[in-house]
Structure formats: structure tokens, C-alpha cells
Structure 1
Amino acid sequence: MSKTLDDLAQRLLKAAQLAGADAADAMAVQGTSVSIDVRAGKLENAERSEGTDIGLRVFVGQRQANVSASDTRDETLTTMAERAVAMAKEAPEDPHIGLADPGQLVKSWDLDALELCDPAPEPAPEALQRDAAEAEAAALSVAGISQVQSASAGYGATQVHLAASNGFSGGYARTDRGTSCVAIAGTGAEMERDYDGDGRIFQSDLRAARDIGRSAAERALARQNAKQPPTGTFPVLFDERISSSLIGHLLGAANGASVARGSSWLLDALGQEVLPKHLSIIEDPYRARVSGSRPFDAEGLATQKRAIVQDGVLTGWTLDLANGRKLGMDSTANAARGVGGPPSPSIWNIALTQGDQSRAALIKDMGTGLIVTSMMGSTINPNTGDYSRGASGLWVENGEITHAVNECTIAGNLRDMLRRIIPANDARAHLSRVVPSLLIEDMILAGS
């Protein structure tokens, strides 16, 4: 970790102490990002940004305040600390806030095992442009593609350091590399678009740009000549590209902040079945080369592998320190934060148990119904779990895909829906959320 960021965080803590804070934590983030957009084979846009951001949280008794800046001069740090302490004195008291006890802090970690940072040099802009151009050319080479809306490649590198007056000090570096393409099929009122992309920590793991462009083109072509489906009750298969959003609703409802506010449709579900009995959701923050991995959380606690759902049963909430205290529970070491605010609970890497059937087998078995490949808008009641979303995708008749569909709505209740999911075995293992395609045999579908 950069010695500069460590020093910067310690200087913030010293300034807070001098300003009269009882306790404090500080965060310093240094980042670089490069993005390249190509259109018609030529460079359309190139952006690069570099900067250092700092954040300070101070405690005065049971009151807290946060301040942030992008100026690291000593006089700025002093002013930040003074303002933060003045703000904290005017803030309402909260009996649940506070730093971790020293005994709760992580003592050691193995960054090398997590492989969060590609040691390879930052790619040259020319290399990013070649990737974007290759993706665009591959999409345009597919018959029926009229244009490419965007083809992009990017790189980012970030260093983070966190320090607190309870003695914690630690940080790590991350890299990310991505390529994406949006292809358009047809012309005029018949135009349809779709996308593909890939993002990895290591450049060497990234999918070939031509594969991304070709996939985006094929997906756009598959959306042509869409029709509205009939209204009724049908099986619905959530494609692997969007199935994680369904599991995300469960994870959001199990977030300790929502539970502590009393605004979760899972409020009374702890220890109850929320998924079929043979399915589990495992959180693992130690997976190598995965974006959701981290050695410690934003409060200096050691992250841990845990079962959020075990054999269908919800085992616990996702907690940081403050929300854990509100609920009379221990933190699950899931605190996340940026420089501008206090920690809040967040999910790291998760994986849903995969099924024993392929996506194709589920489609064959579903008879007549809808494969959802994209969704828009949402009406989800956080207290009841009532679910309604606009959708488009592919229509299935007698186990065979027949045509594209759009302008329809799917509806149900999340508690009921999730207890009836049937997973395929097509989840991509490198993602932070490993969730396969999910079939729900009966959902309300509103179309023509």
C-alpha cells in the first residue's frame, strides 16, 4: 500500500484529535481511470482522470459527522477536522455509532492470495482503442447489424487506505479492465439494440474483444420483429444476465439497515425458508481475482465466508457495527463506505447453488412462456415484496424459442417467487454474483 496514503490518513486522524474529536476514522483513495470510445473505426472520445480523495469521520460523544475533500494540503486537513468537529457537535445523538473495539479488529491478511491488482503495466491508450475498434468491427461484420451505438474499452487502478483512532490501519490496491459494445440491428422504427461486455481485474482474463462485439450483434438480431406476448399466467425464465437482480432483491431485504428501519419484506423471516430447501446463498469475500473480494471491511473487521441462506433458510442479516448494535447482533463485517459518508452494510461476493439442468433443458421443459433478457423500471414494495417490472425477451412455444417479445410486465410477490425458483447450471464463475438462469413456473404476465 502506498506510504503516501497511509501518512495522509494518519495526518487526518491527528488533525481530528487536535480539533477536539473523541475518536475518528479516515479514508484516503487514489485513483486513475482511462476510457476510450470508438465510432466508425475512429477514436470518438478519450478520457483520463487521476486524483486523490480523502474523507474524515469524527465522533464527539455519541454524535458523528463526515467531511471529504480532494485537496491534501495540511491547511485543508486542519480545516476539514475543525468543520467536522463543529458539525458533530450539532448532530443528533446516536447510541449505536462508534468505532470497533480494538479486540474486534483484523490482525493480519493475505493480499497476494486475493489477487486484487494486476501487476501488468497500465495499458496504453492505443491498446484500449484497438480493443474497442475490434469489438465494433466484429459487431458490424455480422449480417443485419446496421450500426454500433458504442464500443468502449477502459482501465482503472485504485489504492485505498483506512485508518482509525482505535489503532486500525490497512489498505489495498485494485485494478479493473473492461470492454463493451452496443450493437443495433435494423433501421428506423424496426431498430433493436443489445449489448455485451466483460470486466476483469486481470487483463489476461478478459474475453476477446471480437467475441464481445459478435455477441452484442447476435443479441441485437435476436430482438428483431418483437411482439407483445399474451396476458396470463406463464412460466418465466430469468436469463443469467439479469437473474442476479432477482437474488439482489432478497439480499437487499436482508440488509441490516433496511431491517433496522423496519422496511423489509423479510422482517419476520429470520430462520424461515426463503428459497427451496436445496438452495443456499454463500458469501465469500476471499475469491481470487473477483471484484467483490476484500481482506477487511470499512470498519477494520476481518471479512468472513458465511451462508446468508443455508438449505433454503435465511440465517442472518448483513450488518455493519451500527446496525448490528441496533438489532442486538454482532457485525458480519460487511461495512462499506466512500470518503463522503459513514459505513453501511453491503454484500461482497455471493453464489447461489447451481442446478443440475442446463438453460436449454429448462427452456425445453417450460413449454410455453417467457425468457426475460432485459428489464426496465420497477415497482417493488419494500414492505410486502410485491413485484412488478417491465420486461422484454424471447417467447417459447412447446419448448422452442419462436420470436422476440417486448412491452410486457411480469408480476408476483418476491417471497412466493423466490421459494419456487429452479436454477440452471449456467452461472459465470468469475462474477461477484454467481447466479444462474432462474425459472419460475407460474408468474403473471401482462402483454397484449
Structure 2
Amino acid sequence: MSNKKKIVILGAGESGVGSAILALKHGFDVFISDFGSVSEKYKKQLVELDVPFEEQQHTEAIILSADEVIKSPGIPDKAPIVKKLIEKNIPIISEIEFASRYSTAKTICITGSNGKTTTTMLTYHILQNAGLKVGLAGNVGQSFAKQVAENNYDYYVLELSSFQLDNMYEFKADIAILLNITPDHLDRYNYEMQNYVNSKFRITQNQTSADAFIYCLDDEETMKEIAKREFAAQLYPFSLTKEVAQGAFQQDNQLIINTTKNQFTMNLNELALQGRHNLYNSMAAGISAKLLDIRNESLRGSFGDFKNVEHRLEHVAKVQGIEFINDSKATNVNSVWYALESMNTEVVWIVGGVDKGNDYSMLNDLVKEKVKAIVCLGKDNKKIHEAFGNTIEIIVNASSASEAVNLAYHLSKKGDTVLLSPACASFDLFKNYEDRGQQFKDAVKEL
């Protein structure tokens, strides 16, 4: 009988396969179980690695014999197999927790309800341009575990969702960034906002006085929670409305970043990322860059030439003078608020999908002011009709990206913007938000 420690990995996606690669490297007995089907790409990798795996089932006898389980962040705690693991006191960790045991690299960790991916990509861009040996992982890029197994980076920029943070215990962020907290994924948190808030604040766990915590001074939920807690890390707030001694703020059309290292200033018009929400993202990334001693000239260059991520307020095309914008990554109400707030024309808004307990009331004023028609893209659009039926005269339903684009095109005139900003998850009609965004872009090109 083998004396090897047995690791079972639930979920055979990017993080699961990456975890398998790292676990094999460190001599574990590995088994992967996926309740869904495993994509051909990952199947091929698992066969090459000679890792036993199963799909479309969970064999309890094997899973419940694990010493430790690495769980994909997409699997909720209420899944029957997870409940059984908890009953048996079998430790369940995330891929990030597992990978961090074998890495001595510095970590810059980014969470928040909105702006995570943009801030993560911008931070990575800044560090790469400065010549640092840096990896990109978490919710973006390749699996953290795979990179720890195969590369030798000095730094990692990690985008962390609340689901990933939930199964992280010993992990520590050297630089923790919390962008904002607005209601999201409440279906995974028993519809209790405090549970979700607690999850986000796990990004600060285990930090010491040698570490940094960067947060938004203007974000109500964040500040409410900060008032209740004590932090070991050095605090670096950022704000659009208040001047701060240590952190970032705006003044006289300048972005100003102060750290103990030195001061950085840059004209707001020179930033590649424009708009209020993006200024917050730039501030957070900029503070982390200064804490890592990135030179001002290098930071200025990176701020000036950064290209935003796909599916986040992405310009697709102009057709007959109508602008089409793909914001498929906006899977919650707050993301949509930022998108609508940045619009300077009349908008035909494509919205809908799998509702995550959304409260649309915060959008009422912006919708009144900017939206001329709504196209609902989803299987169940009742909640959207209820929320905006008294505000917007024209609300129509579509059951495909192509139908939504055609309807929106006919409801628009020259000078308008068609904005796909769904406020919902995509799994009713699409594989994921990328698939939704791609189908939207393909349909626009067909016009």
C-alpha cells in the first residue's frame, strides 16, 4: 500500500490540472474528479501526465479517502460531495492555497466586486514593463499551481475571487488590494451581505507589518468594515474625493501617488484608461507599483500605453454611426453602473442572463437619464421587466446574441451606443461571459 499523501482535485479545468501538475512534482498520489465533462484540451494533458480522472460523476469512495481536497472555486459548499467532505473533516483548500506552499515569490493580490481583471492586468503590465520576473494567475492567465511547478518567478499578480479566498487559510498577500464591495454572488453566501464582505476581507488575513493593504476610501461597504477591524499591514487608501498622506488621490486633474518611497504625479488625460472607475483601478495598481520601487518614468509609460482587457467596455465597431460596446464581463449591477455612467450618448442596453440576486434599483437614475430601449438577453427576463417597465417604454426579449444585436441595431439611430452590459451570469445561453462577448462581437460584424 502506498504511503504517499493522497490529494483529490475536484474540477478538471485550468486550476485543477495545474494543481495536478504541482502535486505530481511533489510526490502526491493524485486523482481528479469532475461532475461535468472535461474539455479535450485538459483531457489530453491529464492522459499525458498519467493522472487518473473521472468525468460526469463523483466516486465517493475515492474522494472521501483523500488526505486533502483541492476544490475548484466554481463548486459551491452546498454541493453534496463538498458537504460529505466537510462532515468527514477532510481539509478542502483552493489551488492558490496549495500553490503558495511551494512558492517564495512576492504576491500582489487583487480582489473586489468590480475592476479586478483590469487592475490585475494593469499591475502585471506595469511590473513586466519594469523588467521584473512576474507571473499572472488566479482568475486570469495560467494556473498559479502550474506556474509554480514550471517557472521561477519573483512576483505573482493574482486576481482572487471571493470563492478562491474562501478556501485560503495560511496564504498571505504581500500586497493586498481590495477595490470595492457591492452585492454580488449573494446566492453563494446565503443572501447575507456580511458573509460576502467577510470573504473579501480574507485578502488581508495573515498579513504582517511588512505587508501592505490598499483599499478604496470612497467605498461605503469597505469603510464600514474597516472601522470594525484591526490591521497589521501598512494601510494605503485611494480616493477621488479626499487627499491622503499615504496612498493615491486626484487633484487639479493630476493623479498623485504618495508612498514612503517618493511621490508620483501624472496628468489624468495621459492615462490610457479613462473614466472614473478606471481611475480607481489605476490608483490601486499605481500604489502597488510604487511599493515595489518601480521608477516613475517606467510607471508613466505603462499607464500611458496599457490596452484594456477584452469584454470590459471593449469598443467593437461603429455601424451606420452606431457604436457597439462589449461589456460582457459586467456580471453584476455595480459593473453596469460604471458602464452606464461612462456613456455620453443615448444607449440601447442589452441586459440579462442568470440573475444572482440582483437589486436593480441603484441603476434607476442612470437608466432614466441614458437608456432609450432595453433588449433582454436571457431565458428568464421577468425581473428586468419588473425593474424597468415603468421607466423604459421599449423593452424587448432576445434568446441569442445575434437576435439581441439585430433588435438593438433597429432600435438605435446614428450617434447612439449599443451596450452589452448584462449584470448577470451567462450560463443560461452561453458557456461563459467570454463566449457571450464573442458571440456579440461576431453578430455585430455580421450587420
Whether TM exceeds 0.5 here: the answer is: no
* Structure with higher strand content: 1
* Structure with higher helix content: 2
Q: Which has the higher contact order (CA 8 A, sep 6+)?
A: 1
TM-score normalised by structure 1 residue count = 0.23
TM-score normalised by structure 2 residue count = 0.23
